[in-house]
Chains A and B, each alone.
Chain A
Amino acid sequence: MSVTDDDEAKKAAEEEKAKKIAAAKAKAAAKKKAEEKAKPWPYPAKHAEPERTEDLDALREQIGDKLLAVGDMSGKPVAYVAPEAAWMALKFAREDLEFDHLPFVSGADYPDEGIMEVHWQLYAYPRAGRDGKDLAIKVHAPREEPHVPSVVDLWTGAEWHEREAYDLLGIHFDGHRNLRRIFMPDGWRGHPLRKDYDRKEQYIGMSRSGEDVVYDTPGPYRW
């Protein structure tokens, strides 16, 4: 046997070993990815059981199986409602369950699941005989054109919150008579808080990387 044969044999053995290691690594990676995928999402709040269930039970009586899931948001009960029952659920919460304070209406974008989650945070002021109580109502709308009912008739303050959610996330509130942008300039294109928002490289001549930009290059800002 010559030296080259030895080398070749050694090289072949090393290659085999390297292939085995790579295969093992790929298998581990694939397993991890499968685990990640198998994690039950998109309900981060679903896993814990809510502490106070009176409001959730009453809501379930009202809308039946349109109450898709319940959960716990760090001590505050959450109700996941189907989009078609959103108006009924919110009206019920406002009028029958006495949730008269609306801290905010907002949303969260989940592009991997193709869902735009719209979130109403409610609070009932304390009255004689009971303490204040919290409730959050969430609706999962399709991400491309999310349409949910507007609650300006229930809570006047929702007008600006819904405008903000429309401006930053693109959620359309049906029945809002004045749905237009509130923070971004009027001609802005795109909804900034979406995960796939294209953070443009330049804005009226100012470049993110610091180079000089010519003024008449089209940017995201057009009157």
Chain B
Amino acid sequence: MALPEHYQAAPKGTSYQLLEEGGQKYMELNMGPQHPSTHGVLRLKLQLDGEVVVKCEPVLGYLHRSKEKIAELGQWIKFMPITDRMDYLTGIYNNWAYCRAMEEMHEIEVPERAEYIRVIAGELNRLTSHYLFLGTFGLDLGAIAPFFYAFSDREKVLGLLEELTGARITFTFMRFGGVKWDVPPGWLEKVSTLIDELEEHHAEMEDLLKKNDIVNMRLRGVGVLTEQEAVSLGCTGPVLRGSGKRFDLRKDDPYGVYPKFNFDIPVHNQGDCYARYRVRMEEMKETYRIIRQAIAQFPDEGPVIAKGFEGTRILRIKPPHKESYGRVESSKGELGFWLVSDNKPNPYRLKARGHSFSNLHALPTMVEGASIADTVVSLGSLDIVLGDIDR
């Protein structure tokens, strides 16, 4: 078997040695890349003292696809499908972050109708992401019913997104200066009807986990992350808002037409898994408000892409000799792109700042000193996507 000499784990050794450190003996457990609860190919090297996790070290790179290198090979717009596959649960926000960075650099004016379509598609994508969180978080706790309820509603939203964009995961819907195409006729009414339906279900769905005593005992006080730690680690999104910091890019660094909407930012102070779970549930309620307002304010007509960027003209753009850092508030945090252009059709340097990369960095802080059963819960509450961590 092709293993390095320093590999010490069970497959190679005939007797499994306990790790000795500072006079104490610990067991090294590998919560390996293939695991039903690691939400992707994430490897956690855990050192255990009985049931207590003494040290937790995430090992990354199992999904590294060298996207930043690939970006340098093709034209700017050809990277758009690749952004979909980074945080593959919220393809719209990946597209949008890339578009925002490019639009700031190239100074493109996005038409208003396109901005509204972006908001509606983006918020629908936020809903699908939070439904998936609800379902999989329930599974991490051992509750199976939330999975079916959440995914049943998620399918309805995905059906609408499929009708709009043609895809369920890899939307590739945004272009620099707008969106790919206009909304299909009757789509907005369908969205409106669906939002009413989902809002009725929302209370029931929340109660599935909220009212359960076991869930409360398993989530409250588990995986605590103080506000200072969260800020210092670079955590963003619900992880940050669950630790008490009131910050949302849609309100504090607004982009598009977000200033025109009336919505709140849910913030919880406890910093435990329960707080993060509540933040996401309440965000969904705010999302329904945003979508309703967007549909009400939707412009009757207008272009959906800026002039000069339609069709194949977008292949030949050569942004000016500048850099930019554009970011959006994805359902999981701050997703940003740093673009460096040297006035060529190919990017010179493109860096994707992933929300889950920094959020996962909080895991050792949350988990060390707690029992191993809480590791799964804490990891689930972070709501990470490996595609965004490894890129």
Across-interface contacts of B252 in A (CB, < 8 A): 125-126, 131-132
Number of residues on chain B facing chain A (CB within 8 A): 44
Contact size range, A: 35 or more
Interchain CB contact under 8 A, A44 and B323: yes
Interchain CB contact under 8 A, A108 and B349: yes
Interchain CB contact under 8 A, A183 and B60: yes
**Cross-chain contact of A156 among B69, B104, B233 (Cβ < 8 A):** B233
A136 to B326, CA, bound (A): 13
Across-interface contacts of A73 in B (CB, < 8 A): 322-325
Residue B217 is within 8 A (CB to CB) of chain A in the complex: no
Residue B334 is within 8 A (CB to CB) of chain A in the complex: yes
Across-interface contacts of B338 in A (CB, < 8 A): 104, 106, 119, 121
A131 to B247, CA, bound (A): 11
Across-interface contacts of A156 in B (CB, < 8 A): 229, 232-234, 361
Question: Counting chain B CB atoms within 10 Å of each CB, which of A48, A74, A192, A197 scores highest?
Answer: A74
Across-interface contacts of A159 in B (CB, < 8 A): 361
Write the nearest CB–CB distance from B99 to chain A, whole angstroms.
Answer: 13
Main secondary structure of the interface of B (DSSP, over half): mixed
Across-interface contacts of A161 in B (CB, < 8 A): 234, 357
Question: Counting chain B CB atoms within 10 Å of each CB, which of A47, A108, A109 scores highest?
Answer: A108
Residue on A nearest B354 in the bound complex, by CB: A104
Interchain CB contact under 8 A, A74 and B323: yes
Residue on B nearest A182 in the bound complex, by CB: B60
Q: Mark B342-366, 1 if CB is under 8 A from A, else 0.
A: 1000001101010001100100000
Across-interface contacts of A75 in B (CB, < 8 A): 104, 324
Residue A193 is within 8 A (CB to CB) of chain B in the complex: yes
A75 to B235, CA, bound (A): 24
Interchain CB contact under 8 A, B234 and A157: yes
**Cross-chain contact of A157 among B233, B253, B341 (Cβ < 8 A):** B233
Interchain CB contact under 8 A, B361 and A74: no
Across-interface contacts of B5 in A (CB, < 8 A): 223
Residue B154 is within 8 A (CB to CB) of chain A in the complex: no
Interchain CB contact under 8 A, A103 and B324: no
A106 to B349, CA, bound (A): 10
Interchain CB contact under 8 A, B325 and A121: yes
A171 to B243, CA, bound (A): 33
Q: Mark A91-105, 1 if CB is under 8 A from B, else 0.
A: 000000000111110
Q: Decide: A157 near B323, CB < 8 A? Known: A125-B231, A184-B61.
A: no
**Cross-chain contact of A193 among B60, B68, B322, B324 (Cβ < 8 A):** B68
A126 to B233, CA, bound (A): 17
Residue on B nearest A125 in the bound complex, by CB: B247
Q: Decide: A192 near B69, CB < 8 A? Known: A104-B338, A157-B358, A185-B61.
A: yes
Across-interface contacts of B153 in A (CB, < 8 A): none
Known: A76-B325, A156-B229. 11 other contacts (CB 8 A): A45-B323, A100-B231, A104-B338, A104-B351, A121-B325, A121-B353, A125-B231, A125-B245, A131-B252, A156-B234, A157-B232
